[in-house]
Amino acid sequence: MSSQQDGNADTDILPLKWKPGTDHMSKLLLNDPNVINLIARSLVGEIAPENSYTVAPTEWADNSRSDMLYTPRAGVTKTMPPLLIEIQYLVDQDFMLRLIRYASSTYDRYRVLPLILVIVTKGFSSTTFRREFTVSSNGFLLEASCLFWAKQCLLLSAESINGHLNQTTLDPMVALGYLVTNHPPCQMPPQHQANPTLMMLYSVAREILSKEESTKSEKANLIYRLEKAKRDFETILDSDDSQGSNKNKVKQSAEDGIMLIEKMQKDLEDGGDSIEEDNNTIANYTLEDAQFVESLTVPGKNKNWKDIFNRGKAKGHFKRFIDDYYSKGAPPFI
């Protein structure tokens, strides 16, 4: 079976967000240092040394957010301007007006007009609208008039690079356009297998895929463990036989544990970054301690939570649980 056929087979099982022409894959690629170097050298020229640009924040004062922004590590200048990168499925009038606002926000922050690259993953709203753009001097990029709002506004699309794909050596920007607009990341065209830029881009794409699959596996494992820990806390609430103030402390601890788990579950659903700190806080308690509880559990019999806690405490378990309650004046089960 040919390498191209293998690529198609691999692509059939990839999630939609990993296929070419989608924002997710493209944005991850644009965060890679090798891709940043490729774009910076292509747009700014030889005056941009390797690793001279880095990713900058893209949240603006009006609460809008652009896709990607590169700025020089040594500081923005007119010869080393900010590079504003947008990934756009369909270019139309609304998008161009939004792009002008992003460019204005970039200028407000750095007082230098940005150099803009739009990666067009689908096309233009109409043939008439497409004709408003001119072909750039290198022949494989389109250019928009931008005299007062950008240093230059270039567009990279499947259409603009089509006439340059049969060359023995692809221009680095043509190779980038080839990957993000035309072909899946597991499919290396035979005529370009030796192209170093395309090989680098596919290597980056494979690494991203591998990390994403690992992250998915870790997330699924964490979700399972959180559900298990939550059920244990709920069992404590349902079956606790402590008396008086001890009962209140056990109940409060279980309720606090459930609240923390529910917060982490919400962060997982929202795709938020705040879960890492909570995960570090709860990990020892929910995983190691839950396993200890399971080791003392007899199927069909009620748990003696006071005995389990005291035996676990003697073995070094439930540390966070104890610390929390000493800080409140007294530990539980005493």
Share of the chain above pLDDT 70, in %: 58
Beta bridge partners of 142: 135, 155
**Which domain, by its residues, includes 312?**
219-327
Share of the chain above pLDDT 90, in %: 35
Would strands 142-144 and 152-157 be described as parallel, antiparallel, or unpaired? antiparallel
The answer to whether residue 202 is domain-embedded is no
The answer to whether residue 210 is domain-embedded is no
Same-domain check for residues 107 and 226 = no
Q: Which residue has the higher pLDDT, 12 or 168?
A: 168
Condensed to tens digits (0 to 9), the pLDDT of residues 140-180 reads 999 999 999 999 999 999 888 887 877 777 888 988 888 88
User: Quick one: pLDDT band at residue 225, thresholds 50, 70, 90?
Assistant: low
The rounded mean pLDDT for the chain is 75
Last residue of a domain, one of 161, 194, 227: 194
Last residue of a domain, one of 148, 179, 194: 194
Q: What is the mean pLDDT of residues 281-295?
A: 57
User: Quick one: pLDDT band at residue 286, thresholds 50, 70, 90?
Assistant: very low
Last residue of a domain, one of 194, 229, 250: 194
Same-domain check for residues 79 and 187 = yes
- C-alpha to C-alpha distances, 309 to 24, 79, 291, 316, 325, nearest whole angstrom: 46, 66, 13, 10, 13
- Residue type (1 letter), 22: T
The answer to whether residue 143 is domain-embedded is yes
Same-domain check for residues 164 and 40 = yes
Q: Which residue has the higher pLDDT, 183 or 284?
A: 183
Same-domain check for residues 239 and 297 = yes
Please give the DSSP secondary-structure letter assigned to residue 15.
-
The answer to whether residue 83 is domain-embedded is yes
Cβ-count burial 56-67 (b if 16+ within 10 Å, e if not):
bebebeeeeebb
Q: What is the mean pLDDT of residues 199-213?
A: 76
Same-domain check for residues 164 and 245 = no
Condensed to tens digits (0 to 9), the pLDDT of residues 104-118 reads 999 999 999 999 999
Q: With 80 as the cut, is the pLDDT of residue 27 above it? A: yes
Helix, strand, or coil here: 137? coil
Same-domain check for residues 114 and 33 = yes
pLDDT given for residue 237 in this prediction: 63
The answer to whether residue 276 is domain-embedded is yes
Same-domain check for residues 72 and 120 = yes
Same-domain check for residues 8 and 142 = yes
Same-domain check for residues 177 and 233 = no
Residue partners of 311: CB distance under 8 A and separation at least 6: 296
The answer to whether residue 334 is domain-embedded is no
Q: With 80 as the cut, is the pLDDT of residue 333 above it? A: no
User: Quick one: pLDDT band at residue 277, thresholds 50, 70, 90?
Assistant: very low
Q: Look at the chain and report how many structural domains it folds into.
A: 2
The answer to whether residue 244 is domain-embedded is yes
Q: With 70 as the cut, is the pLDDT of residue 73 above it? A: yes
Same-domain check for residues 40 and 185 = yes
Condensed to tens digits (0 to 9), the pLDDT of residues 244-268 reads 555 566 666 666 667 766 766 666 6
The answer to whether residue 199 is domain-embedded is no
